[in-house]
Amino acid sequence: MKAEYDFSKAKRAKDVPHLAKLQSAASKGKTRVTIYLDDSILESFRLRAETEGKGYQTLINEALKQVATNSNPVTEDVVRRIIREELHSA
C-alpha cells in the first residue's frame, strides 16, 4: 500500500457513465440518511436479519413502513393477546 495516492486526475462517479448508472439504479426511490439507533435495537434487527436471510436495513425499512402506513391495526386478536399476556404476568 502506498503512503500517498494522487487523486488529481480522478473523476467523480457521476462523470463515469457506468458508475453513474449504477448509482442512479441503486438509489431509485430511496434516500441515504444518517440516524442514531440504540445499540439494542440495532442488535435485535441484525439478529432477525440473520435468521430471516434479509438485510437488517431492509428489516428496519419494513418496520418503519409498517408504522408509517399503520398497516398493522389493533385487531380483536391483538387486544386478546395483550390482555392474556398482562394477566399472565400479574
Res 71: pLDDT: 65
Report the C-alpha gap between 3 and 25 in whole angstroms. 34
SS3 content of the chain, % helix, strand, coil (to 5): 60, 0, 40
Q: Which of 51, 48, 74, 76 is nearest to 62 (CA)?
A: 48
Q: What is the DSSP letter of 85?
A: H
pLDDT in tens, 41-78: 999 999 999 999 999 999 999 999 888 887 667 788 88
45 exposed, middle or buried (CB, 10 Å; 0-12, 13-18, 19+)?
Answer: buried
Claim: this prediction has a pTM higher than 0.75: no
**Confidence class of residue 80 from pLDDT cuts 50, 70 and 90?**
very high
